[in-house]
Amino acid sequence: MTDSALDQGAVRLHNDRVSAGLNRRYARERRFKAYGVISIALALGFLALLFANILAKGQSVLWQTEIQLPVDFTVERIDPQRTGDIGVMARADYGGLLKDSLRALFLDVKKRRQRKELYRLVSIGAVDDLRGAVLGAPSIVGTKKQVWILAADEVDYLIKNWTNDAGAATGGKISPRQRAWIAKLRENGAVRTRFNGRFFSSGDSREPEMAGIIGAAAGSFLTLLVTLVLVFPAGVMTALYLEEFARSNRWTDVIEVNINNLAAVPSIVFGLLGLAVFLNVMGLPRSAPVVGGLVLALMTLPTIIISARAALKAVPPSMREAALALGASQMQTVLHHVAPSAMPGILTGTIIGMARALGETAPLLMIGMVAFIVDIPSGLSDPAATLPVQIYLWADSPERAFAERTAAAIIVLLGFLVLMNLAAVLLRNKFERRW
């Protein structure tokens, strides 16, 4: 009886120890899961905070302030000889017309310094807008019309941040006299904000209110087009050869090691390579999409090769064996069966690699794509900027209005990246096969 009682006590003691150990293990697992959930929540919170900050700063760029002025398109100022020649009208003093219109609204402005402050209410680009209006409709010459003129960047910022108690947002380069003039214009209904289509249809500009992203977007498109044309066939064919045809030996091992090493090389190194080879040796045009595409192709190629090889490895060996058993050659097996089955993974890797190339800035800075480009590129050899470089340039500008345009350009870039990654996910879900 005593031995049996001792055995039962030992069993209970052992069970208690096992239960205590299991409880501690389960407690550690619960804590680990809680730490994981907290980490994910913190990451999502910081990401949401970042996006909210960017959206808060960039959403105001969708609206642009305009001022209504009574412009007198006098024949004496535009076409004094009444020739009707477009060239003569294009050379007219439209800046003088704007100044006359502003002085007509504020007759009490007499001093030269006050006039300079008054003229700074409108954008420098308003001169080109007036010229375009006359050249587009020469019949307005000799008439007087109420014309909505693009406001200067500081006026635009002031209107967007107007407060009822103080009368205007504090700070900035707007003087109290200018604020009074703007307040009078607002009372007369001569100030409005409308959708800023110029931001999506214009190139870069020194004046923030005239700057747009279409030039940078076109440059990014042309650069990625060159990258895709070069990197997709080269990457896929390299992956097919290494995975399906090349024998495993010392040379293939060296090639694989170098491909993996190139995938980890910092992107600025590829920019230095492009500067030394494509610009200094080959003499290709600086700041051109063709050079940017070549540099990004070199940077993206290792990533495409690695992802394509991973997709090829995912194809079951039974598919190759079945094709060979039915009499297909190795080339036919690869091209007709293995490659089509691996294509969803290959396309997914390619899109992700292109998305990475879209967001690169450092290699493009090294080949001169940081230049100030106003014109929209129409060819692969035309000077161009890209969206990341445009963001870099605007972020470095001292004008306050460029801050909202920087945030808006970041939103556009993130939108492109989201669309590209979404396309990769859709392609994988649509064509992926379960083996």
What is residue 356's predicted lDDT score, i.e. its pLDDT?
Answer: 85
pLDDT of residue 4: 65
Domain boundaries, the chain: 60-196, 214-431
Residue 20: is its pLDDT beyond 90?
no
Q: Which residues pair with 6 in a beta bridge?
A: none
Rounded to an integer, the average pLDDT of 164-183 is: 67
pLDDT in tens, 103-159: 888 888 788 888 888 888 888 888 888 888 888 888 888 788 888 888 888 888 888
Is the pLDDT score of 169 beyond 60?
no
Q: Is the pLDDT of residue 94 over 60?
A: yes
Return the pLDDT at 164: 47
pLDDT exceeds cutoff 90 at 92: no
What amino acid is encoded at 261 in this protein?
A: N
Alpha helices in 81-206, H assignment, sequence order: 86-90, 94-105, 112-119, 126-136, 153-160, 176-187, 198-201
Residue 349: both structure tokens together: 């890797």
Among residues 248, 260, 268, 229, the alpha carbon closest in space to that of 360 is found at 268
CATH, range 214-431: 1.10.3720.10
- Which of these ranges, 20-29, 183-192, 385-394, 412-421, has the smallest mean pLDDT? 20-29
Distance (Å) of CA 342 to CA 319, 424, 425: 12, 14, 15
State the number of CA atoms in the 13 A half-sphere of 44 facing the CB: 6
- Whether 170 shows a pLDDT value over 80: the answer reads no
- The per-residue pLDDT for 11 is 67
Mean pLDDT calculated for residue range 355-370:
84
How much is the pLDDT for 273? Answer: 87
Token duo for residue 33: 């899961």
Q: Where are the alpha helices (DSSP H) in 264-372?
A: 267-274, 289-313, 317-325, 330-333, 339-358, 362-366
| CA dihedral of residues 16, 20, 21, 27 (deg, nearest 10) | 160
**How confident is the model at residue 187, as a pLDDT?**
87
User: In the predicted model, is pLDDT for residue 376 greater than 50?
Assistant: yes
- The CB density around residue 149, as the number of other CB atoms within 10 Å, is 22
- Measured CA to CA, the distance from residue 355 to residue 296 in angstroms comes to 11
pLDDT band at 167 (very low <50, low <70, confident <90, very high): very low
Which of helix, strand or coil describes residue 144? strand
Check residue 51 and give its pLDDT: 87
Determine contact, residues 363/274, Cβ cutoff 8 Å.
Answer: yes
Q: Which pLDDT score, from 0 to 100, does residue 6 have?
A: 56
pLDDT tens, 225-239? 999 999 999 999 999
Q: What is the structure's pLDDT at 168?
A: 44
pLDDT (mean) for 178-187 = 88
Q: Write out pLDDT tens, residues 57-70.
A: 888 888 899 888 88
Q: How confident is the model at residue 39 (pLDDT cuts 50, 70, 90)?
A: very high
Residue 101 · residue 77 · CB < 8 Å: no
Give the rounded percent of residues in the chain with a pLDDT score beyond 90. 10
- C-alpha 406, offset from chain centre: 10
**pLDDT, tens digit, 9 for 90 and up, residues 188-208:** 888 888 998 888 888 888 888
pLDDT at position 432 is 64
Predicted pLDDT of residue 226: 92
What pLDDT, in 10s, does the model give residues 245-269?
A: 888 888 888 888 888 888 888 888 8
DSSP state of 195: E
Please report the pLDDT score of residue 383 as a whole number. Answer: 86
User: What is the chain's mean pLDDT, rounded?
Assistant: 84
**Residue 350 tokens, joined:** 């390619």
Q: 162 and 206 in contact (C-beta within 8 Å)?
A: no
Strands 144-150 and 63-72: antiparallel
pLDDT in tens, 296-321: 999 999 989 998 998 888 888 888 88
